């Protein structure tokens, strides 16, 4: 698994609905355009929410990693 450079890390495990999407929406605004946010989640719904959120908000999931029961999204701020 390659080490990915990121500007900010968000722990979004075990959060109530709809906090994962709320937090990532906020978090992405805290990095500069072109920078990457790493978001860690375990919730199955988040696995569909994040791609749908990226599509809607115009950001890009550059990589998805899975390890020890959790999923890490690397999301690049595009605008």
Mark 34-73 with x for binding to another protein (rule: CB under 8 A) and - for no binding: --------xxxxxxxx-xxx-xxx------x-x--x-x--
How many chain residues are in contact with another protein, going by CB under 8 A?
Answer: 30
Distance CA 57, CA 1 (A): 27
61 contact partners, CB below 8 Å, separation of at least 6: 50, 51, 54, 73, 74, 75, 76
Give the 3-state secondary structure of residue 8. Answer: strand
Q: Which is nearer to another protein, 24 or 36 (CB)?
A: 24
Has 78 been annotated as catalytic? no
The residue annotated as part of the active site, out of 4, 9, 17, 33, is 17
| Binding residues for another protein (CB under 8 A) | 14-23, 25-26, 42-49, 51-53, 55-57, 64, 66, 69, 71
């Amino acid at each position: 698994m390659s080490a990915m450079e990121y500007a900010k890390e968000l722990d979004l495990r075990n959060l109530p609905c709809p906090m994962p999407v709320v937090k990532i929406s906020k978090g992405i605004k805290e990095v500069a355009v072109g920078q990457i946010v790493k978001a860690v989640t375990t919730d199955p719904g988040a696995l569909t929410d994040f791609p749908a959120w990226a599509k809607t908000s115009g950001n890009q999931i550059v990589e998805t990693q899975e390890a020890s029961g959790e999923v890490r999204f690397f999301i690049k701020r595009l605008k």
